[in-house]
Amino acid sequence: MKYPFLCLILAVFNLPIFGQLGLNADRGAFSLGVGGSGVALNGLDAVLNNFAGATELESFGLIASTQRRFLIEDLTTVTAGFVFPVGRLGHFGVLLNNYGFEAYSEQKFGVAYGKKLLENFAISGQLDIINTRIDDFGNKAVVTFDLGIFGRFGQDIYYGIHIFSPEQVKITESTRIPAQMRIGILYEPAGDLDVILEVEKTVDEALNVAGGINFKLADQLYARIGGNTNPGVFTMGIGYIWNDSVTTDGAYSYNTTLGITPGVSVKYKRP
């Protein structure tokens, strides 16, 4: 490869570039601020985490997000997601993501559909096309899918389940897109406080427990803290609600070995 420093990092620290093909899509700065958890989020943040939660939206919305992993320009992700409610037909969505650098990159294109089956229960499915480009290997596009469930117990507990690529689609004879399952809850003990907890299992990876809290600091301003066990990071974030349509989120995670990953998201929903 043309990037010996990056290749050394990949080899020594087993970054997810080669180990988690298809899982590099940015989950948004809200999720980043609470340890990377987000399967039980609703609204626009659900578009990047678990599309079933996007069925809570009543109008068109979009989310754009970017992260620079470990402050390395070549490890930047750029993601955009859109959701289109169509009355009783349900919710349709589109996801676009790019990740990587000249020697290695991934592009992901997803088309999603979600529908409320009951007032407090929704399901979703998403068809994903993932293109992987590696120097001296070329391009390889594969098709996979993910499934989601979102619901609520009472008025203050939300839950989500998300399964990604259960078929473990092959990219090469020795490389597959790993299956992943996420299960989580979001508890609202008060109107100004969310407590989030999630368990994530990826094939051939250690179990990851992630979570955090989101709390109101002032009118329209929220703060977040969190962390996770794999790879083991501490996270912080903020969110500001500009008006009924526009919200911005900023966050970073801190890995004691590799450093800081900052992220920013902008969300818009039609009033």
User: Residue 208 is encoded by which pair of tokens?
Assistant: 């990851």
Q: What was the pLDDT predicted at 2?
A: 46
pLDDT in tens, 71-107: 998 889 999 999 999 999 999 999 999 998 888 889 9
Of 206, 204, 256, nearest in space to 21 by CA: 204
DSSP β-ladder status, 76-85 and 61-68: antiparallel
- How many other CB atoms sit within 10 Å of the CB of residue 74? 15
Q: What was the pLDDT predicted at 22?
A: 59
pLDDT in tens, 206-248: 999 999 999 999 999 999 999 999 889 999 999 999 999 999 9
Q: What was the pLDDT predicted at 104?
A: 83
In degrees rounded to 5, what are phi and psi of residue 74? -70, -10
Return d(Cα 242, Cα 30) in angstroms, integer.
15
Q: Residues in the chain, how many?
A: 271
Q: What was the pLDDT predicted at 23?
A: 65
Q: How far is CA 260 from CA 141, 233, 237, in A?
A: 31, 9, 13
DSSP string, the chain: ---HHHHHHHHHH--HHHHSTT------HHHHHTTT--TT--GGGGGGT-GGGGGG--S-EEEEEEEEGGG-GGGEEEEEEEEEE-GGG-EEEEEEEEEE-SSEEEEEEEEEEEEEEETTEEEEEEEEEEEEEETTTEEEEEEEEEEEEEEEETTTEEEEEEEE-TT--EEETTEEPPPEEEEEEEEEEETTEEEEEEEEEETTS--EEEEEEEEEEETTEEEEEEEETTTTEEEEEEEEE-SSSEEEEEEEEEETTTEEEEEEEEEEE--
Which residue ranges in the chain fall short of pLDDT 70?
A: 1-24
Q: How far is CA 202 from CA 21, 145, 181, in A?
A: 11, 15, 6
Q: What was the pLDDT predicted at 168?
A: 80
At a CB cut-off of 8 Å and minimum separation 6, what does 69 contact? 15, 75, 76, 77, 261
Q: What was the pLDDT predicted at 20?
A: 53
Q: What was the pLDDT predicted at 61?
A: 97
